[in-house]
Structures are given as structure tokens and as C-alpha cells.
């Protein structure tokens, strides 16, 4: 198998990369051109999502779409901000909280098999751990990965739509594992093949 | 678009490679001496240590650098015909006006005044180039210069041209490879200097004052140090971000030397002057302690022979092993893993296992653990716990082996992290499955909760850490002081809180352990799984992980928010 290492743009900052925005959030961000502070809307998005989940919207396929839409409308425009505020590093954890919480809520609402929910969340977690490692080792992800991986808002939308149908959730899980794992393994193999020496490994962290 | 225009291929170009700059401007740098005939320990990994026999110090140094991640080698040497050639020797003929007059370590019994044998024969550039070329892998870039001021200007030119980091070391340095490796470790951000014990200060081992792990003042023939508590071993590393400062300092010093504002500094002390300059310009210089290792500039043949014999008296492999085993882990890792994992590291190194192979074995053990856990019976939980513990030990061994053999790779680091979490989450899933099989009751929600909590903590930790990388905001710049002042500020009387201890080093040891444990690091999580699961089964295990993890999350979050608010204030 031949692997091509493509030229990859360096993200503006690790915090922006850790947001894991998909195409929708990036589009919303380009509209406001970085003028909106990212943290307050993200926290508001988490709060509103929590309230919506608490009143049980996850149980309805039409209503549950409101959670990702509200979260996207609130937290999406911040994606183009430089994230240089003193507390802006809180944005990625808040986005994680929204996505993980909503996914679990949908799984509970439709009584999805727990191992399936575990596997779906596992794929998303793999990507998030992988993102951090990539930024630290400077093996930056290609631009298409953010689109193919759907981003936090895209995955929430799909989960809201397919949550009622376990077969489609299985397909989504397989798709996400496939994209994230395949892309990561090939990219790391290519990067390490070309690097004779590299930084030290950090163990046990 | 949230991306900048800078384009880099992933991997290779991004990895920083150190450059080395040897100042071969002293007579001792040209020495070829008879090395100690002590037999080497069998099975010792190749560390660039040359075989016994006649040793050319420069070739030895180049071979040592070749064993480290050093990519470029610059050398400053004397031009044989230069007028400064004689001026240099006359300058060293006077004992430097040094506050500390005891010149050599007590053990060797030699003093600087007894070192006339080799004086005056400074190796010229051709000889230096020939010696260095024998040293192996690195092709030296030889720069000729005539005197101290010219040396300093050449240092400035190298600092401007080389992308760095730049390791500056004297040609008459006799050191353990491991000592240089600690200094050149690319994981250590920023600028650092190798420091040894306060005893044995002299013109080639100048006194420094270390405060809170940083060099607060550095001496030389002109600049004094108040309350010196350590000595500078001769070599220092300048981080990428400080190269511009090094160039400025070197040119300022060159100007001062030419104007005679620094007395008559010996040319041998170019490195020492530069260190003083860096410290006084406010660059934070980390002090890298030698510990049991040796590194010393030597003045003559006798000193070189004594020093080379001294090197053989230290178990370098053991020192390297001890350094490879991190001690800043949690309590469980420290007492139940690191206490004996060194033997495994040695074994793995003998067997020529790569760190990634060890990671593979660790994953295999974790898979065995998961199979046993998923049985859910008492025997299964016990066997699973044992396998999971061994898997964790090997997880620590792979990183230690990578540091020990200096073969860490970016891929290895990624593999280690991804496999670490993969093993952990597989154990959660297996425990939940096993509990369901035996008790017919779902603990999956607890397993998922424990997993998500851990991921959330990782998100908090990584976003905070990478928003404020330590080499940009962590080390605060010290106050700048003029280089024309010979005296040092009183350590506890300086302006800008010079006497206030920086950082958070002053803590009761018990409190440090408590702080490390409260964040529930990997070792403690493993301990919970291995100890709680066989006794109280999966449900209680997850409840403990969730409760402890919840406290850890709040503690981490609160601490980081407070710190980022404080950082913004000043």
C-alpha cells in the first residue's frame, strides 16, 4: 500500500483544533468573521441543551433535532474566533459536554443497546484523543477529516435523526470508526515513516 | 477559515533538531590523552562512548553529540596565523581575577597554576576540523576567529543563522554522554544550563546561584555571584525562542570586551560570559542538575586523564535508567510499578525490544484481561486484575524504555496514548459485560459515565495545557540587569521580587502526594480497577471511579480557571 503525505495547513491554535468543528459550524463562523466571543454562547448552548434534554425532547425524532440546532446556532459562530481570551480554553470541554450528553440522552430515550452506545461514543472519543496527540506531535489532520468526521454539530444532528433506528446507529458507528481509525493509522504510519527521529514519548499519561 | 496560510508536511520537518556549537578555543581542546583502560560493562547500549585507548577530546565530544538528536555541528576555532593567537595565550597566562580561587576539585589534587604543560598550543582550525571529522556522523562547520570578541560575534552569527535549539559547549569538556543528553532533551523547553555541585568552583567551573530550578546569577572572571550555591559545568542549551536574545547578548558582550569594560576576560570563558549575559538579560535559564553524572572543563592533560577515569567510576547506565523512570507520577505508579519496572526496562533493552513492541505486548495482556473480566466470576475478575496490572506495568515500561534507549518517536507516543485509553475503556466494557452476565443487571450506564468523565477531564486538561504552553507563558522572564556591573544583586534584596520563590516548589511532600492522587491519574485508576473489581465487583468499581473522577474534575477545573484568571492579571 502506498501512502501519500499531503501538505496540511497548520491550525491557528490547538484550542481551535480541539473544538472539532464540522462544515456547518465553520460556515456559521465565517459569517461572523471571528467577531463573536466563543465562550458565553457555548455555555448558553450547553445550558439550553441541558434544559431541552431534561424536558425529554430526546424521545421525539423531530423535537430532538432542536438540541443540535440550538447548540449550533449558539456555539457555531464562535468557531472563527481566535480563542485567545483568558478562559476560551473552556470552549472545547463545553462542546464535548454537549455532544456526549446529548448522545447519551438519545441512547437512553430510544433504549439503544448499551454496548452500541459505548461503541459509538468510543469512536468519537478516539477522534478527540487523536486530535490532541496530533496537535502535540504536529501530525496535523487534513482538512477533509473535519468534514468527513461531521464535526460535533454534524454528529449530533445525525444522532438526533437516526436515534430511533438502531440499524442506522450501527452504520453511523461503523462509519465513524472507519473514518477516524483508517485516516489516523495511515497518516501516522506515513508521518513516522518519514521521520527518522522525533520527540520523546510521554508514557502512562 | 480557521486555518493560517503556513503549510508544513506532517511529521519530519516539525520535529526540532538540536544544533551544537563547540567553542574549541582553549589549548586543552586539542588534547589527545590516554583513556582509562577500565573494561566496559557488557551489554551496555551504544551511547557514543569511544573505546579505551588514546582519546582526542574533540573527537570524543563529536562522537557523543552524534549519539544525540543533534543535526548540525558548528565549531569556532583559532586561525593559526591570526594575531589573536598569541594574545589568547598571554591572556590565560594570568590567573583570571576570579572570586573563587580554589581551582580544581579536591579529589584530583591539581590546580590551575600547575597546568603549564599544554599551554600555548591552541589547536588551529585545520586540526580541529580533522579531529571532529574523526568523531563520526556529524560534519563540522568550522568557523575561524582570532580573539574573544570575534568569538562572541561568531556566536551571534550562528545564533541568527541556525534555526536552533542551539547547544553551546566548550571543546575542553569531558562529560558523560547522558549529561549532555539531559541538556539536549528536546522535551525540555527553552533555555537550560548544566549545573553541578557548589564545591570545586574555579575558572573553568564558575559559580552560579540557582533559585527554584533556574539560574538566577552566573559568574565569570568579571561578574561576581552572591551566595553561589552551584557551579556551571560549561554546556548550555538555548531554546529557539531565545536565540535572538543570545545573538543580542553575544554582540553586546563583544562590544564590551572590545571597549575593555569587562576587564581582561580570558578567552576560555566565552561560554561563561554568554551564560551571564543570558541570565542578566532576563532569559529564564533552567538549571539541569548533573546528579551523579560528571561534566567538567579540563585545563590540561593530567586533569583530562583524571576526569576520564572519573567518568568510568559512575554507573552511567544506572543513572540513565533512573532518569528514564519518571518519579512525578501518582502514588500507585511510584510504589507499585516504578519500584521494579527498571528491571524490565533493562531486560527489554538487552532483548533489543523496541518501545512499540512492548506496547504491543501490553495491549495483548489487556486483551487477556478483558476476556477474563467479561466472564464476571470471582476467578475471572482476579485473573483479569492480574493481567490488567501487568499490562499497566508494560505501559509504563514502554515510555521508560524509549527514554532509556533514546528511541522515542512521535508514533510511539501516539500509540502509547491511544492504546492506553483503548485498554482502559476495553476493561470498562468487559467489566460491564461480565457484571451483566453474572448478575443480570446493567452497569453499562456507569461504565459509559466513567468513560465520558475521563474524556471530559482529558479535554479540560489538554485544552488548558495547550492554550498556555509552558515555553511561552510558563517561565516568567526575570528582571534585566546591566552587564557592565561586576557585582550581583543580593538574592533576597532584589527588585521585582527577585527573592520570592517562583513557581510552586515549596510544598509539604505529603500535600504534593495528595495533589497528585486527587486528580486520579492513570496509576490510581488502574489500582481502583485491579483492587476494587475482584473484591467488590464491577458496580462498586465504577461508582468509585465516578465519585473520585468527579472530585478530580471539579478540582482540576477550579484550579485551572483560577490560574488562567491570575495569569491574565499579571
Contact B204, B279 (CB under 8 A): no
Residues in a beta bridge with B76: B23, B143
- CA-based nearest residue in chain B for residue A191: B11
B329 domain residue, yes or no: yes
Which residues of B159-206 form beta strands (DSSP E)?
166-170, 173-175, 191-196
Which of B293, B315, B337 corresponds to the end of one domain? B315
Handedness of CA A96, A99, A102, A107 (dihedral sign): negative
A203 domain residue, yes or no: no
State the Cα–Cα distance between residues B409 and B379, nearest whole angstrom.
39
Contacting residues of B for A133, CB less than 8 Å apart: 413-414, 417-418
The residue assigned the cell 432542536 is A66
Residue B127's domain comprises 12-315
Any B CB within 8 A of A151 CB: no
Q: Are residues B265 and B344 in the same domain?
A: no
Q: Are residues B458 and B561 in the same domain?
A: yes
Q: Is the pLDDT of residue A96 over 90?
A: yes
For residue B121, give the C-alpha cell: 598550543
B93 domain residue, yes or no: yes
Residues in a beta bridge with B78: B124, B145
DSSP assignments along B365-378, one per residue: HHHHHHHHHHH-SH
pLDDT at A78: 86
| Domain CATH number, residue B557 | 1.20.120.1760
- CA-based nearest residue in chain B for residue A122: B425
Number of residues assigned to chain B: 570
B78 domain residue, yes or no: yes
**Residue A180 burial class via C-beta count within 10 angstroms: exposed 0-12, middle 13-18, buried 19 and up:** buried
Q: Are residues B158 and B246 in the same domain?
A: yes
Radius of gyration of chain A (CA): 17
Determine the distance from the C-alpha atom of residue B201 to the mean position of all C-alpha atoms in its chain, rounded to a whole number.
23
B99 domain residue, yes or no: yes
Q: Which residue has the higher pLDDT, A48 or B518?
A: A48
Any A CB within 8 A of B10 CB: yes
State the Cα–Cα distance between residues B498 and A67, nearest whole angstrom.
53
Q: Are residues B147 and B250 in the same domain?
A: yes
- CA-based nearest residue in chain B for residue A79: B2
Average pLDDT over residues A164-191: 90
Instruction: Region of B557 please: left (phi>0), alpha (psi -120 to 50) or beta.
Output: alpha
A31 domain residue, yes or no: yes
Q: How far is CA B259 from CA A55, B247, B264, B275, B480, in A?
A: 80, 18, 10, 20, 21
CA angle A73, A74, A76 (to 5 degrees): 70
Q: What are phi and psi of B215, to 5 degrees?
A: -75, 115
Q: Are residues B336 and B204 in the same domain?
A: no
> Considering only residues 128 to 147 of chain A, which have any Cβ-Cβ distance to chain B shorter than 8 Å?
128-130, 132-140, 143
A33 domain residue, yes or no: yes
Determine the distance from the C-alpha atom of residue A74 to the mean position of all C-alpha atoms in its chain, rounded to a whole number.
16
- Best to test chain A binding among B410, B470, B527, B565 (most A CBs inside 10 Å): B410
Contacts of B55 (CB under 8 A, 6+ apart): B32, B33, B34, B35, B308
Give the H/E segment covering residue A115.
helix A114-137
State the Cα–Cα distance between residues B283 and B304, nearest whole angstrom.
32
State the Cα–Cα distance between residues B20 and B170, nearest whole angstrom.
10
pLDDT at B21: 92
pLDDT at B448: 95
Q: Among residues B379, B195, B215, B186, which one has the least CA distance to residue B284?
A: B215
Q: What is the pLDDT of residues A22-44, one digit of tens each?
A: 889 888 888 887 778 889 989 99
Q: Are residues B267 and B413 in the same domain?
A: no
Any A CB within 8 A of B354 CB: no
State the Cα–Cα distance between residues A143 and A108, nearest whole angstrom.
33
A8 domain residue, yes or no: no
Q: Are residues B225 and B361 in the same domain?
A: no
Residues in a beta bridge with B258: none
DSSP assignments along B499-558, one per residue: TSPPTT----HHHHHHHHHHT--HHHHHHHHHHHHHHHHHHHHHHHHHHHHHHHHHHHHH
Q: Among partner residues B8, B410, B467, which is closest to A199 by beta-carbon distance?
A: B410
Q: Are residues B342 and B223 in the same domain?
A: no
For residue B414, give the C-alpha cell: 501516539
Task: Report how many domains make up chain B.
Answer: 2
Task: Report how many domains make up chain A.
Answer: 1
> Considering only residues 57 to 116 of chain A, which have any Cβ-Cβ distance to chain B shorter than 8 Å?
79-80, 83, 86-93, 96-97, 100, 104, 108, 114-115
Residue A87's domain comprises 14-194
Q: Are residues B310 and B337 in the same domain?
A: no
Between strands B191-196 and B214-218, the pairing is unpaired
Long-range contacts of A178-183 (CB under 8 A, 24+ apart): A179/A145, A179/A148, A179/A149, A180/A123, A180/A126, A180/A127, A180/A130, A180/A149, A181/A123, A181/A126, A183/A141, A183/A142, A183/A145, A183/A148
Q: How far is CA B240 from CA A12, A13, B11, B223, B385, in A?
A: 20, 19, 18, 26, 46
B489 domain residue, yes or no: no
State the Cα–Cα distance between residues A10 and A29, nearest whole angstrom.
18
- Least Cα separation, residue B4 to chain A (angstroms): 6
For residue A159, give the C-alpha cell: 444522532
pLDDT at A179: 94
pTM greater than 0.95 = no
State the Cα–Cα distance between residues A103 and A95, nearest whole angstrom.
12
State the Cα–Cα distance between residues A61 and B357, nearest whole angstrom.
47
Residues in a beta bridge with B214: B211, B286
Contact B48, B76 (CB under 8 A): no
The residue assigned the cell 586543552 is B28
B493 domain residue, yes or no: no
Q: Are residues B165 and B256 in the same domain?
A: yes
Q: Among residues B495, B156, B484, B106, which one has the least CA distance to residue B306?
A: B106
CB atoms inside a 10 Å sphere around CB A59? 15
pLDDT at B426: 94
Longest dimension (CA), chain A: 55
Q: What is the ipTM of this complex?
A: 0.90
pLDDT at B493: 47
How high is the mean pLDDT of chain A? 84
| Domain CATH number, residue B46 | 3.90.550.10
What is chain B's pLDDT, residue by residue, as a tens digit (570 residues)?
A: 333 323 333 333 334 578 899 998 888 887 877 765 443 443 344 444 445 567 788 888 888 888 887 888 899 988 765 544 433 333 333 444 333 333 333 333 222 333 333 345 677 777 777 777 776 777 888 888 888 999 999 999 999 988 878 999 998 888 888 888 888 765 556 889 999 888 878 888 899 998 878 888 888 888 888 888 899 998 999 988 888 999 999 999 999 999 888 888 888 889 999 999 999 988 888 888 888 888 888 888 888 888 888 888 887 778 778 777 766 677 888 888 888 888 888 888 888 888 889 999 999 999 999 999 998 888 999 999 999 999 999 988 888 888 888 777 777 888 888 899 999 999 999 999 999 888 888 899 999 999 999 999 999 999 998 887 654 444 556 667 788 888 776 555 444 444 444 444 455 677 777 888 888 888 889 999 999 988 888 889 999 999 999 999 999 999 999 988 887 665
Determine the distance from the C-alpha atom of residue A69 to the mean position of all C-alpha atoms in its chain, rounded to a whole number.
15
State the Cα–Cα distance between residues B430 and B499, nearest whole angstrom.
55
Amino acid at each position: 500500500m502506498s501512502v501519500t503525505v499531503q501538505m496540511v495547513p497548520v491550525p491557528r491554535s490547538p484550542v481551535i483544533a480541539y473544538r472539532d468543528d464540522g462544515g456547518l459550524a465553520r460556515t456559521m463562523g465565517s459569517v461572523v468573521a471571528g467577531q463573536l466571543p466563543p465562550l458565553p454562547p457555548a455555555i448558553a448552548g450547553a445550558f439550553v441543551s441541558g434544559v431541552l434534554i431534561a424536558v425529554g425532547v430526546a424521545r421525539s425524532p423531530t423535537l430532538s433535532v432542536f438540541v443540535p440546532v440550538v447548540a449550533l446556532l449558539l456555539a457555531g459562530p464562535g468557531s472563527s474566533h481566535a480563542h485567545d481570551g483568558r478562559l476560551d480554553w473552556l470552549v472545547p470541554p463545553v462542546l464535548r459536554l454537549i455532544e456526549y450528553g446529548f448522545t447519551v440522552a438519545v441512547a437512553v430515550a430510544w433504549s439503544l443497546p448499551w454496548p452500541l452506545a459505548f461503541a459509538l461514543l468510543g469512536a468519537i472519543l478516539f477522534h478527540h484523543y487523536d486530535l490532541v496527540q496530533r496537535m502535540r506531535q504536529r501530525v496535523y489532520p487534513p482538512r477533509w477529516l473535519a468534514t468527513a468526521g461531521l464535526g460535533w454539530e454534524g454528529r449530533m444532528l445525525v444522532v438526533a435523526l437516526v436515534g430511533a433506528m438502531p440499524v442506522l446507529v450501527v452504520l453511523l458507528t461503523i462509519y465513524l470508526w472507519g473514518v477516524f481509525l483508517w485516516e489516523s493509522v495511515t497518516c501516522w504510519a506515513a508521518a513516522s515513516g518519514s521521520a527518522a527521529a522525533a520527540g520523546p514519548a510521554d508514557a502512562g499519561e | 477559515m480557521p486555518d493560517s496560510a503556513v503549510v508544513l508536511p506532517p511529521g519530519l520537518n516539525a520535529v526540532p533538531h538540536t544544533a551544537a556549537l563547540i567553542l574549541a578555543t582553549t589549548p586543552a581542546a586539542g588534547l589527545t590523552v590516554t583513556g582509562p583502560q577500565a573494561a566496559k560493562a557488557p551489554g551496555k547500549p551504544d551511547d557514543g562512548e569511544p573505546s579505551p585507548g588514546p582519546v582526542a577530546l574533540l573527537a570524543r565530544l563529536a562522537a557523543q553529540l552524534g549519539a544525540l538528536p543533534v543535526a548540525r555541528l558548528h565549531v569556532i576555532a583559532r586561525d593559526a596565523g591570526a594575531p589573536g593567537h598569541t594574545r589568547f595565550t598571554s591572556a590565560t597566562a594570568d590567573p583570571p581575577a576570579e572570586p573563587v580561587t580554589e581551582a580544581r576539585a579536591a579529589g584530583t589534587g591539581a590546580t590551575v597554576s600547575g597546568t603549564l604543560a599544554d599551554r600555548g598550543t591552541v589547536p588551529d582550525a585545520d586540526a580541529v576540523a580533522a579531529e571532529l571529522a574523526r568523531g563520526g556522523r556529524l560534519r563540522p562547520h568550522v568557523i575561524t576567529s582570532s580573539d574573544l570578541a570575534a568569538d562572541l560575534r561568531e556566536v551571534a552569527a550562528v545564533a541568527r543563522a541556525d534555526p536552533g535549539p542551539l547547544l553551546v559547549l566548550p571543546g575542553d569538556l569531558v562529560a558523560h554522554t547522558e549529561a549532555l543528553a539531559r541538556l539536549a532533551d528536546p522535551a525540555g523547553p527553552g533555555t537550560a544550563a548544566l549545573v553541578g555541585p557548589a564545591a570545586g568552583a574555579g575558572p573553568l567551573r564558575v559559580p552560579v546561584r540557582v533559585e527554584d530550578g533556574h539560574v538566577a546569577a552566573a559568574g565569570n572572571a568579571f561578574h561576581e555571584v552572591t551566595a553561589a550555591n552551584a557551579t556551571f559545568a560549561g554546556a548550555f542549551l538555548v531554546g529557539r525562542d531565545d536565540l535572538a536574545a543570545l545573538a543580542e547578548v553575544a554582540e553586546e558582550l563583544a562590544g564590551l570586551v572590545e571597549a575593555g569594560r569587562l576587564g581582561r576576560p580570558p578567552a576560555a570563558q566565552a561560554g561563561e560570559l554568554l551564560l551571564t549575559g543570558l541570565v542578566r538579560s532576563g532569559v529564564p535559564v533552567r538549571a539541569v542538575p548533573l546528579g551523579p553524572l560528571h561534566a567538567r572543563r579540563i585545563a590540561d592533560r593530567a586533569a583530562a586523564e583524571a576526569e576520564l577515569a572519573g567518568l568510568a567510576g559512575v554507573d552511567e547506565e544506572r543513572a540513565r535508567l533512573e532518569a528514564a523512570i519518571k518519579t512525578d507520577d501518582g502514588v500507585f505508579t511510584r510504589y507499585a510499578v516504578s519500584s521494579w519496572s527498571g528491571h524490565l526496562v533493562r531486560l527489554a533493552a538487552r532483548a533489543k525490544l523496541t518501545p512499540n513492541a512492548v506496547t504491543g505486548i501490553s495491549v495483548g495482556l489487556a486483551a487477556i484481561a478483558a476476556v477474563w473480566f467479561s466472564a464476571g466470576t470471582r476467578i475471572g475478575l482476579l485473573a483479569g486484575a492480574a493481567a490488567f496490572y501487568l499490562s499497566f506495568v508494560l505501559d509504563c515500561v514502554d515510555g521508560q524504555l524509549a527514554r532509556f534507549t533514546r528511541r522515542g518517536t512521535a508514533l510511539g507516543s501516539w500509540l502509547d496514548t491511544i492504546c492506553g485509553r483503548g485498554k482502559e475503556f476495553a476493561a470498562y466494557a468487559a467489566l460491564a459485560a461480565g457484571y451483566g452476565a453474572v448478575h443480570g443487571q446493567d452497569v453499562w450506564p456507569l461504565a459509559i459515565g466513567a468513560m465520558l468523565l475521563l474524556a471530559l477531564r482529558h479535554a479540560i486538561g489538554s485544552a488548558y495545557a495547550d492554550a498556555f504552553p509552558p515555553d511561552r507563558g510558563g517561565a516568567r522572564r526575570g528582571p534585566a540587569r546591566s552587564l557592565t556591573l561586576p557585582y550581583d544583586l543580593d538574592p533576597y534584596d532584589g527588585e521585582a521580587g527577585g527573592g520570592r520563590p517562583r513557581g510552586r516548589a515549596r510544598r509539604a511532600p505529603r500535600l504534593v502526594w495528595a495533589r497528585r492522587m486527587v486528580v486520579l491519574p492513570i496509576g490510581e485508576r488502574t489500582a481502583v480497577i485491579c483492587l476494587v473489581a475482584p473484591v467488590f465487583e464491577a458496580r462498586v468499581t465504577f461508582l468509585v471511579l465516578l465519585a473520585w473522577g468527579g472530585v478530580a474534575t471539579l478540582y482540576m477545573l477550579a484550579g485551572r480557571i483560577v490560574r488562567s484568571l491570575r495569569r491574565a492579571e499579571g
